Amino acid sequence: MLTFEEPAVRIDNLTKVFGEQTVLNNLSFDIPRGKITTILGFSGAGKSTLLKHILGLMQPTSGSISVLSKNLKDLDRVELRGFRQNFGMLFQYAALFDSLTAVENVAFPLREFSKLSNNEILERCHELLDSVGIQPISHDRLPSELSGGMRKRVGLARALALEPQIMLYDEPTTGLDPITTHMVNDLITSTSERNKDRQMTSIIISHDVKATLRISDFVAFLDRGNIVEYLPAQEFANSKNELVQDFVNL
């Protein structure tokens, strides 16, 4: 299993049990800083549960998880809320506020968590929207007036507003057409590249093998709560693991 010095996330013997069902089974692995790591797996493998543990939304039944060198168990509720400002999250369907324009959606976390003036917030929002390819004419449009790909871009701009140390992508291309899917994947890689100087870490939950091998630095395969393979992306497709090969060749 791959290990890294001072990883962005360190998972140590993490187990999560719901009733009689073990969803995560004694997981131990590291996610490196400054890289794109994708967690692949079939539906029900435990990917979303793992993501919730990384965010501190769930507590493990046993084991521990450290993020940016902090053990999440050591943080109380108030500290955890503040700590989550280190994360940006792009949800499956962007999850924009329907009643807010694109620029107002991006402004939301800045109004909640920063001390910037209104003019500074608006300037930052327009810069972020420009950086993800939203033209100025669309900055004041509502989500219903934007295409699915544009909503993803606005969601990403909002996720980047607080300059997170870790960007989380939950099935970012689900429900998108092939052209938009390609655009979103290119957006993930360009965002990672733009933030490389500050070692921003990208973690993707996905089932899209082709895209994963194209954009990721590392790939972990989760099956029934276990990491059964974890390799650099260029080696993953040639894994000798039979389950991985079955998944890759679907």
In contact, 51 and 168? CB cutoff 8 Å: yes
Distances (CA, A) of 101 to 98, 107, 143, 201: 8, 10, 7, 28
DSSP reduced 3-state for 240: coil
Instruction: For residues 104 and 185, give the distance between their C-alpha atoms in angstroms, rounded to a whole number.
Output: 25
Q: What is the predicted pLDDT for the residue at 95?
A: 86
Q: What is the pTM of this model?
A: 0.92
| Domain residue limits, the chain | 1-68+166-191+201-250
Condensed to tens digits (0 to 9), the pLDDT of residues 135-153 reads 999 999 999 999 888 998 9
DSSP reduced 3-state for 64: strand
pLDDT band at 88 (very low <50, low <70, confident <90, very high): very high
Higher pLDDT, 123 or 5: 123
Which CATH entry fits the domain spanning 1-68+166-191+201-250: 1.25.40.340, 3.40.50.1820, 3.10.129.10, 3.40.50.300? 3.40.50.300
